[in-house]
A and B are shown apart, each in its own frame.
Chain A
Amino acid sequence: MINPMTKKPNKNKVEQGTNEEAPAIHVAPSPHISDSVFTTRKMMVDVLIALLPLVFMSIYIFEFYAVKQLVICLASCLGAEALFVKIRHKSFTLTDFSAVVTAIILALSLPGTAPWYVGVIASVVAISIGKIIFGGLGMNIFNPAMVGRAFVMISFASVMGAAAYTDAGAVVDAITQATPMDAFKQTGVTGSISHLFWGLTNGSLGETSAIAALIGGLYLCIRRTASWEIPAGIFTAVFLIAGAADVSGAFSGHLVLHHLFGGALLFGAFFIATDPVTSPLTSKGKFIFGIGTGLFIMLFRLFSGYPEGVMFAVLLMNAVTPLINRWTIPRPLGEV
């Protein structure tokens, strides 16, 4: 105990200060306390935890193919991050785990059949052009993983196109079939909804299992690491448009479920579109962002040459995010 009137706190007797030289009493502007539980790093760890069911299902379904892409993307993303951060003379940023999140989301969005260099190039592009070039974490306009994926999808159409997902000679069952989205595009017939739900179909590594995406996604929303408004907006738009297509084509509900559970919709809605950096700030803005993403997804799925549209839809809406932010400046309490 120190008597404040007679004895000034001794500089050298700080017991719990961070360093010996720190004064015992210091001043700073308010507030003097903070919520120490919730940090950016913990948000990233939350996303990694939520991705676990998808990683598990991808390895269960695609076995070696999934492990290969995950390892390639992780190594390339972390390597690229370390390299570019060093080039820019910035402090070490690997510990914020954002590169790990980008790597896993990117790996899970690739087909198991893609050759090794696709993952490497996608990773390097995701980190460099997707993120670092804008100034690093928090500054990027587009979702880095999707930038990487879009780059390789356009550059290597032959190994990334819908047909390339299928390899009749593969040892893993799922890969011998066409993806459900492509099958529907070609034949107009929806496949088994229960296969889509559990994930026993071909597709990008992390997108096939609806249940895994739902479990991870709900965890993120409950933890408020992801904003529920974005998936809610996407589901609303997809439900309405797929519903209209369903009724007009007399699919008796199958088509709605096909679009909700099939392809990268759930994976994209919960894990890609919810990237806070590239989505709007306010609740209202987030919902508008979700609706827009859902609209574009259905536009691509129904009317474009591609069977799937999640990646392009998210990138397009990323570009609109600054505009949405400008339209949705909230009305302060008391403004007429």
Chain B
Amino acid sequence: MGLLGFKNFPGKGSFPHGIHPPDHKTLSAGSAIEVIPPPAKVVLPLLQNIGAPCEPVVKPKQEVAFGELIGIGKAFVSASLHAPISGKIQKIGVTTLPNGRHLPAIFIKADENQMSGQALWDEVLGGDWPKDCPGAHNPETISKAINDAGVVGLGGAAFPTHVKIMPDDKKIINTLMINGCECEPYLTPDYRLMVEAPGAIVTGALLAGRTVAAKEIVVCVEDNKPEAIEKLREAARDTVIKIAVLKTKYPQGSEKQLIKAVLNLEVPLGGLPGDVGVAMSNVGTIAAVARGVIKGKPLTHRVISVTGAGVVNPKNILTPIGISLGEVIEFCGGLTRDAARMIAGGPMMGFAFSDLNTPVTKGTSGVTVLTHEDVRKDEETSCVRCGRCVDACPMKLVPTRLAMAARYEKVSLAETYNIMACFECGCCTYVCPANIKLVQLIRIGKAQIAASRKK
């Protein structure tokens, strides 16, 4: 299948190295997206993108309507924030995210008139998505609409989308890639979105393609999602959009790996996809773009998976941003007795959290709850230099060297071995037969380098 789908692209349909962890996607892949009932309150951190935080434009006790602007992203790399429910601002307090950051956040208490169920689905993802629309919108208005809607990358990195999807005469974009790989084990929100709302993805892709003046638009999906591929093909019929079917491998959804796999181009170290003429957006992001441009509605809801053997009823749900992770777990039947670790995101790159009040942010793609059996880890033994980590590293680094350099604080050795090229996918730790926490040590090494550069 990969080979057949790959005759139209210069890449091989896969990238060098990487791993094949069991994906456990069947836990939640079959359940259609459910709309979670409106929560009694939401907590919205002012920083939900990779850039600068937004500035609140509301005051405590103020009434806000569903979709109303509550925080404005003034910096170029920043994103605005909107009320996902109607209600009253309680306070501007502080919350802690799973990545450990304490952030100021807007607390909103819900009032009685909430949109819910099918009406909310229709509002966010339902309805007709025109395929002939791009002509009606010019690139500047599309980019502005994306900015106004506060769209950020929903795949996890939360990069403000208007920065990527904007007209730029100096930067030529040959290919717009829509990332539907979802290589992270367990998670299925992108899969369900591709199956249930392919129209929004197609429309968003066409709009974004027009904005960056892309010569081609490619939606990239791994071959373990045949139903999504079929639905997308159907929705993209009679459009310029091409579907690339890739061989399933982790971390294919990483943009550098995906560009290598599809286009056989290498993004320079420290560079961005734009340097090789590529713009990339996740399928969820691009659906939010469609909503922002066609309906003029901001990013207030997203699809997440709540999955893993530690959850009673794994599900995919459409949830407001700002709902607590505890509530979404409760909606899925709660934790099982042997639940051991709750993760915001997937098991490879997600952040473990312990506070159930932690809110869902724009970048939260799901909650994975693992059991004691899943996270069982044997004691660390000596590195026997078997080279498995070298064979697994998708950036072609030498993880064991980097990790040992970090452990013994040898900053220059770590730099010789290109430690900053590591994007922390975790393949090395996954494969290590000696159970050495390689990527964890490498993170420490990167911090050591950052500290030494400050001196």
Contacts and interface: CB of A to CB of B under 8 A. Distances in A.
Interface of A: 1-5, 9, 13-18, 24-36, 38-43, 96, 136-139, 227, 276-277, 279, 281-283, 286, 329-336
B117 interface: no
B3 to A, nearest CB: 23
A332 B440 CA distance: 20
Contacts of A3: 330, 334
Given A2-B335, A4-B326, A27-B354, A332 B396 contact: yes
Given A4-B326, A330-B397, A27 B352 contact: yes
A5 B326 CA distance: 6
A277 B434 CA distance: 13
A332 to B, nearest CB: 4
B430 interface: yes
Q: Is the interface of B mostly helix, strand, loop or mixed?
A: loop
B267 to A, nearest CB: 5
Interface of B: 16, 19, 21, 185, 256-257, 260, 266-269, 271, 312, 326-327, 329-330, 333-343, 345, 347-354, 356, 368, 370-378, 381-388, 390-391, 394-398, 400-401, 416-418, 421, 424, 426, 429-435, 437, 439-440, 443
A96 to B, nearest CB: 6
A96 B439 CA distance: 24
Given A9-B335, A33-B348, A333-B394, A40 B430 contact: no
A295 to B, nearest CB: 22
Contact of A281 (B326, B333, B334, B387): B387
Contact of A32 (B337, B350, B390, B431): B350
A31 B356 contact: no
B204 to A, nearest CB: 28
B398 A16 contact: no
Contacts of A38: 388, 431, 433
A335 B269 CA distance: 6
A136 B382 contact: yes
A32 B374 contact: yes
Given A332-B397, A333-B395, 15 more contacts: A2-B337, A5-B326, A14-B372, A16-B340, A16-B371, A25-B342, A28-B375, A30-B345, A30-B426, A138-B383, A276-B387, A277-B385, A329-B417, A333-B260, A333-B396
Contacts of B382: 40, 136-139
Candidate in B260, B330, B335, B388 with the most chain A CB atoms within 10 angstroms: B335
A15 B416 CA distance: 47
A4 B334 contact: yes
Nearest to B15: A333
